């Protein structure tokens, strides 16, 4: 199970029930700080986590020509982050891709490599795209570093999104320093035949790690941006949606949090955790009537005893004591040693008796 350190902080306040720690293979804080302090990196820019991953380019080049549009769009995005110049020609061919998302990510990737052919796409994206994609479009235009790219940024300085508007302002006043060609990472072996899911998972983990780095610096919009990239690469990553939603809600963006949690359900319609995420969000914010349906669906799909516990509490707050007792009985059937469930069950039985 994936987990970042900052998710442990969320767990401490009862928002996410996860118990694992960051995988030992995750880059150390020292390595992340070293990446962050590269002389060519602006303070607002993404960590260059994928630079030097040249061993993955042959695989991504192959996937960029796949009949699967999802493989093409993810490959384009990652190639832009790797930044190998030998990818530019192939990315340029994808500017005519039948899928708009592939054209968008190919144009942004070219811009992130300093290629002016990405300006038109990045400029268009700034007017209509999710926040995390607009962020990379801003970064790409900064990397292109031409008057045309700068004019494109200046047209969008009043963007309503907090991260995008801040990033545009920073990009316009930050001098661009061209990064050196990175040496290939010696610890990453070529793997042209790696299954695509492994490639997406590998990159997803890097973005989760980057989100953790931003968390410790108190930049929650950047955390969201990283996690959006993570769920883009792995839509099955339910904890990513849940974490994004918690951050959005904590920043006063409740409608955005609800949209994110519904995206998790759309991406994973048979996963009880997706429904639990939405139900728990409503329950935690005391909207019990709205919480009931997704929590019930989570139980129907085989949600664990934690899911049933939350559902039981929700039913009690809605005055549905008989149904709440059924859930506590189910929890005890799953976990007979659960003393809290036993006490809650006895308490609800007393409430039912008193109501007669």
Rounded-to-integer distance, Cα 23 and Cα 26, Å: 6
Residue 18 within any structural domain of the chain: no
In a shared domain, residues 246 and 141: no
3-state secondary structure of 127: coil
In a shared domain, residues 47 and 69: yes
pLDDT at 341: 94
Overall residue count recorded for the chain in this entry:
356
Least confident of 12-16, 66-70, 221-225, 246-250: 12-16
Residue 147 DSSP label: H
pLDDT at 273: 98
In a shared domain, residues 53 and 185: yes
| Rounded mean pLDDT, 200-219 | 96
33-87: pLDDT as tens digits: 999 999 999 999 999 999 888 889 999 999 999 999 999 999 999 999 999 889 9
In a shared domain, residues 176 and 232: no
| Rounded mean pLDDT, 300-324 | 96
In a shared domain, residues 188 and 241: no
In a shared domain, residues 347 and 232: yes
Select from 200, 217, 234 the last residue of a domain: 217
Residue 323 within any structural domain of the chain: yes
In a shared domain, residues 251 and 311: yes
Q: What are the distances in angstroms from CA 314 to CA 180, 265, 282, 334, 336?
A: 56, 20, 10, 19, 21
Residue 350 within any structural domain of the chain: yes
Residue 155 within any structural domain of the chain: yes
Residue 297 within any structural domain of the chain: yes
Rounded-to-integer distance, Cα 207 and Cα 225, Å: 9
Select from 185, 202, 217 the last residue of a domain: 217
In a shared domain, residues 142 and 161: yes
pTM, two decimals, is: 0.90
In a shared domain, residues 327 and 204: no
Residue 49 within any structural domain of the chain: yes
Select from 217, 234, 263 the last residue of a domain: 217
Rounded-to-integer distance, Cα 200 and Cα 55, Å: 14
Domain with residue 333: its CATH number is 1.25.40.10
CB 115 within 8 A of CB 90: no
| Rounded mean pLDDT, 218-246 | 98
In a shared domain, residues 251 and 155: no
Residue 79 belongs to domain spanning = 43-217
**Torsion, CA 199, CA 200, CA 203, CA 208, rounded to 10:** -150
Q: How confident is the model at residue 26 (pLDDT cuts 50, 70, 90)?
A: low
CA-closest candidate to residue 155, choices 144, 176, 143, 141: 141
Rounded-to-integer distance, Cα 334 and Cα 306, Å: 10
Q: What are the distances in angstroms from CA 181 to CA 51, 58, 207, 336, 354?
A: 9, 17, 22, 60, 75
CA-closest candidate to residue 318, choices 267, 277, 266, 279: 279
Q: Select the more confidently predicted residue: 25 or 173.
A: 173
Q: Compute the half-sphere exposure of residue 137: CA atoms within 13 Å on the CB side of its CA.
A: 26
Q: How confident is the model at residue 275 (pLDDT cuts 50, 70, 90)?
A: very high
Residue 5 within any structural domain of the chain: no
Rounded-to-integer distance, Cα 91 and Cα 84, Å: 11
In a shared domain, residues 169 and 47: yes
Examine the pLDDT at 18 and tell me if it is beyond 50: no
CB 4 within 8 A of CB 215: yes
pLDDT at 6: 44
In a shared domain, residues 151 and 124: yes
Domain with residue 208: its CATH number is 1.25.10
CB 135 within 8 A of CB 225: yes
CA-closest candidate to residue 74, choices 124, 36, 108: 108
pLDDT at 23: 36
Task: Indicate the number of domains in the chain.
Answer: 2
Examine the pLDDT at 24 and tell me if it is beyond 60: no
pLDDT at 188: 73
CB 276 within 8 A of CB 300: no
| Tokens 């048979």 sit on residue | 270
Least confident of 46-55, 140-149, 303-312, 343-352: 46-55
């Amino acid at each position: 199970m994936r987990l970042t350190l900052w998710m442990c902080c969320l767990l401490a306040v009862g928002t996410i029930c996860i118990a694992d720690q960051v995988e030992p293979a995750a880059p150390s804080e020292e390595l992340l700080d070293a990446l962050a302090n590269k002389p060519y990196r602006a303070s607002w820019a993404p960590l260059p986590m994928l630079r030097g991953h040249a061993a993955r380019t042959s695989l991504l080049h192959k996937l960029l020509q796949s009949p699967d549009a999802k493989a093409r769009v993810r490959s384009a995005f990652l190639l832009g982050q790797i930044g190998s110049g030998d990818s530019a020609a192939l990315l340029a061919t994808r500017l005519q891709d039948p899928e708009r998302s592939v054209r968008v990510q190919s144009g942004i990737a070219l811009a992130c490599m300093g290629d002016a052919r990405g300006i038109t796409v990045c400029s268009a994206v700034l007017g209509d795209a999710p926040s995390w994609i607009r962020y990379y479009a801003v970064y790409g235009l900064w990397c292109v570093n031409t008057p045309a790219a700068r004019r494109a940024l200046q047209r969008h300085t009043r963007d309503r999104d907090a991260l995008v508007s801040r990033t545009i302002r920073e990009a316009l006043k930050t001098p661009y320093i061209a990064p050196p060609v990175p040496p290939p990472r010696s610890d990453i072996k070529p793997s042209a035949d790696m299954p695509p899911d492994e490639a997406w998972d590998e990159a997803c983990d890097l973005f989760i790690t980057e989100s953790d780095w931003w968390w410790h610096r108190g930049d929650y919009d950047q955390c969201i941006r990283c996690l959006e990239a993570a769920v883009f690469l792995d839509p099955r990553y339910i904890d990513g949606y849940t974490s994004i939603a918690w951050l959005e809600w904590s920043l006063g963006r409740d409608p955005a949090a609800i949209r994110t949690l519904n995206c998790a359900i759309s991406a994973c319609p048979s996963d009880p955790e997706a429904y639990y995420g939405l139900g728990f969000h409503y329950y935690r914010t005391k909207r019990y009537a709205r919480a009931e349906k997704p929590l019930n669906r989570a139980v129907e799909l085989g949600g664990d005893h934690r899911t049933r516990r939350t559902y039981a509490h929700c039913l009690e707050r809605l005055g549905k004591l008989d149904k709440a007792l059924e859930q506590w009985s189910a929890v005890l059937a799953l976990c007979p040693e659960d003393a809290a469930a036993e006490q809650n069950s006895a308490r609800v039985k007393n409430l039912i008796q008193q109501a007669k």
